[in-house]
Amino acid sequence: MSRFKFFVQPGFDSEFVGGYLDGQQIHDWLRSKAPAMSDAISGETDFAVLSERLLLEGEKDFLVWDDLLKAAEMTYFADQTPLKGPSIDFCCGYGFWTSRILGKIDVGVDLFPETGSYQRSIEGFVDKGFIGGAYRSVLQADVTAELPLPDNFFESVVAVCSLEHIDRVENVLATITRILKPGGKVYLSLQTNCYIKKFEEIFHPSYVEWVREAFAIHQDRTWEEWDELVSQAGLTIESHRFILSEDETALKALMYWKDPFAPAAGELGLERAVKEIPEFRRFYFDKVRYWSRREVEPAQASIVCLTCTRQT
């Protein structure tokens, strides 16, 4: 088995020495810690309350598109908590929202690319205290390749709007099925083709191409295509939630332009109004609360959230 970068939160196992390790060593460590990982810890349950608090505490920027995109998605994941362990988060990144919503995650796995919009390092993950202590361990790996994860091991598998960025997604779904414990649950949020179609309706092709390249949007799968891929991987969809309507996607796109982290809409002064005017802040976060629970018809949903089990 290959070697991987793997680190463990000292508060969970103070004797473990992380770094480049043989895959079998990681595999065996996970097996040995299964009893300790079998707990379940609740996280935040109200996205609007969480977003408002983080904004006022200076922990997040005021980005309408982020609240719009994440409100219903994170509410879906909050509704599944507490996640039974052992749990794993595929393509975890730095887990800004998931670390707060999911409560605790036993394993985070990510490519941690050195370049591009998703550039980040596993060392940065460790330096952030395993994202506020929410993650117990972290693995750097290509999720489409062989991973040092035990068969039939995880009770909860999570992938938050990440699989749509992966070309060989069938490999990832096969791994998820392999490592899922019988009776365990898979929780997925998946971007559909409706998302980028709305960008194509609104913006010049050159900007759409920039968005595609910057955020690795190359797989425009319909909900029906996702359904087929999940089924072919040996998973059964127990329930689904269709979110982010056509109008909401259009608003998200407009609030995104031109640089999502310094959008033109930022010049409207909305952040100052939300922070300094209580009535305006209440109005805005009431809207976020509305977005959190809004579901739409499958044909116009830009994101679908799925709860899956292994086929029997």
- Give 20-31 as a DSSP string: EEEHHHHHHHHH
CA atoms of 156 and 204, how far apart (whole Å): 41
Q: What is the pLDDT of residues 10-27, one digit of tens each?
A: 999 999 999 999 999 999
User: Is 27 part of a structural domain of the chain?
Assistant: no
- Across the chain, mean pLDDT equals 96
DSSP state of 191: E
Question: At residue 119, does pLDDT exceed 90?
Answer: no
Which of 106-120, 122-136, 271-285 has the weakest average pLDDT? 106-120
CA atoms of 43 and 81, how far apart (whole Å): 7
Q: Which residues contact 3 (CB under 8 A, 6 or more apart)?
A: 20, 21, 22, 23
User: Is 7 part of a structural domain of the chain?
Assistant: no
Structure tokens at 297: 């018809």
Question: At residue 118, does pLDDT exceed 90?
Answer: no
19-22 β-sheet, strand order:
19-22, 3-8, 137-140, 107-110, 87-90, 154-160, 180-191, 303-310, 235-243
Q: Which domain holds residue 95?
A: 34-310
pLDDT of 48: 98
Q: What is the pLDDT of residues 204-262, one digit of tens each?
A: 999 999 999 999 998 899 999 999 999 999 999 999 999 999 999 999 999 999 999 89
- Greatest distance between any 2 Cα atoms in the chain: 58
Backbone angles phi, psi at 175, to 5 degrees: -65, -45
Q: Supply the pTM of this predicted model.
A: 0.96
pLDDT-above-70 percentage for the chain: 100
Nearest CA-CA partner of 226 in 179, 184, 198, 193: 193
Task: Yes or no: say if 288 and 48 are a contact pair by the CB < 8 Å rule.
Answer: yes
User: Is 25 part of a structural domain of the chain?
Assistant: no
Question: At residue 1, does pLDDT exceed 80?
Answer: no
User: Is 16 part of a structural domain of the chain?
Assistant: no
User: Is 163 part of a structural domain of the chain?
Assistant: yes
- Tell how far CA 85 is from the center of its chain: 18
Backbone angles phi, psi at 193, to 5 degrees: -65, -15
3-state secondary structure of 209: helix
First to last CA, the chain: 29
Q: What is the pLDDT of residues 85-117, one digit of tens each?
A: 999 999 999 999 999 999 999 999 999 998 877
CA atoms of 30 and 15, how far apart (whole Å): 14
Q: How many domains does the chain have?
A: 1
pLDDT of 115: 82
pLDDT of 117: 74
Q: Which residues contact 214 (CB under 8 A, 6 or more apart)?
A: 116, 117
As a dihedral over the C-alpha atoms of residue 173, residue 179, residue 183, residue 188, rounded to 10 degrees, the angle is: -40
For residue 183, what is the domain's CATH number? Answer: 3.40.50.150
Q: What is the pLDDT of residues 141-155, one digit of tens each?
A: 999 999 999 999 999
Q: What is the pLDDT of residues 173-182, one digit of tens each?
A: 999 999 999 9
Which of 18-32, 60-74, 114-128, 191-205 has the weakest average pLDDT? 114-128
Specify the pairing of strand 180-191 against strand 154-160. parallel
